Amino acid sequence: MKRKQITAMITAMTMVLGITACGSGNVSAEQENKEQTEIESTLNISNNDEITWSYDSQSDSWTMSVTCAVANPELPDYQGVSVNVPGAYVKGIDTNGDGKEDITGKTYSEEVNGRLVIDDSAKIANTNGQTYTALQHRLL
């Protein structure tokens, strides 16, 4: 009889501890929204002043320097991402925030901080006659 009572008490205590442990991990919607906002802000490349762009005239492309791809990197040297954009889609780099290109492929000389100025009217046709625009690539 005592054995059954002890087993029942252990089972009940385990259930209570399990329920308590499950409840302590809950995060409020407000806290979850705050964390999501912080992550999005951290990963938004427009908030990263350290990003630079370089131009390769041989491939006619702009390449963004490596930037972190996660909000809280444990291995920063391995958790980065870089972007390469065909030069046909890019008017240049806006270095002063006015929305107009200050550096172009023709005037590029070294890595530059700023934002890409996209040429929304640019079109590239492949050998099969398919035409692509910068807008189509933005949606991919």
> What is the overall mean pLDDT for the chain?
81
Return the structure tokens found at 40.
């999005």
Percent of the chain residues topping a pLDDT of 70: 77
| pLDDT tens digits along 117-136 | 989 888 888 899 898 888 75
Regarding predicted confidence, which is higher, 74 or 46?
74
Regarding predicted confidence, which is higher, 126 or 25?
126
Distance CA(4)–CA(1), nearest Å, equals: 5
